[in-house]
Amino acid sequence: MRDWPLDRRLDTAIQLADLADYLHRSPLGSLRVSDFKETHFLLLDGGRRVVMTDLDDVTSAEPPCDRNVTDSQAAQMRVTPTHCSYALQVG
């Protein structure tokens, strides 16, 4: 990929950004890919179209919102530890 012309790299980056946006706004709700790596994608049409091939790590499950989840527990659950904070807004 490093030897690709700039326009091709930008087009591929835009396609990946469009995929991330679709996963965020999907009709099924926000979807998360827990194993996002280069080997899970194919280039079709002479390298002009990016398609995702490994869908078994796509989930709609929300990561836990628990300050007590350690990094090692999060790794076992294949999620990023989330540090949520909820503030009561008094108007």
In a domain, 88, yes or no: no
In a domain, 33, yes or no: yes
Is the pLDDT at 31 greater than 90? The verdict is: no
pLDDT at 87: 47
In a domain, 20, yes or no: yes
Domain that holds residue 24: 6-60
In a domain, 32, yes or no: yes
Number of structural domains the chain divides into = 1
Higher pLDDT, 87 or 28: 28
What residue has token string 């280039």? Answer: 43
**Per the structure block, which two tokens stand in for 77?**
């659950």
pLDDT at 84: 56
In a domain, 89, yes or no: no
Is the pLDDT at 55 greater than 80? The verdict is: yes
> What is the four-CA torsion angle of 42, 35, 1, 17, rounded to 10 degrees?
80
In a domain, 68, yes or no: no
In a domain, 29, yes or no: yes
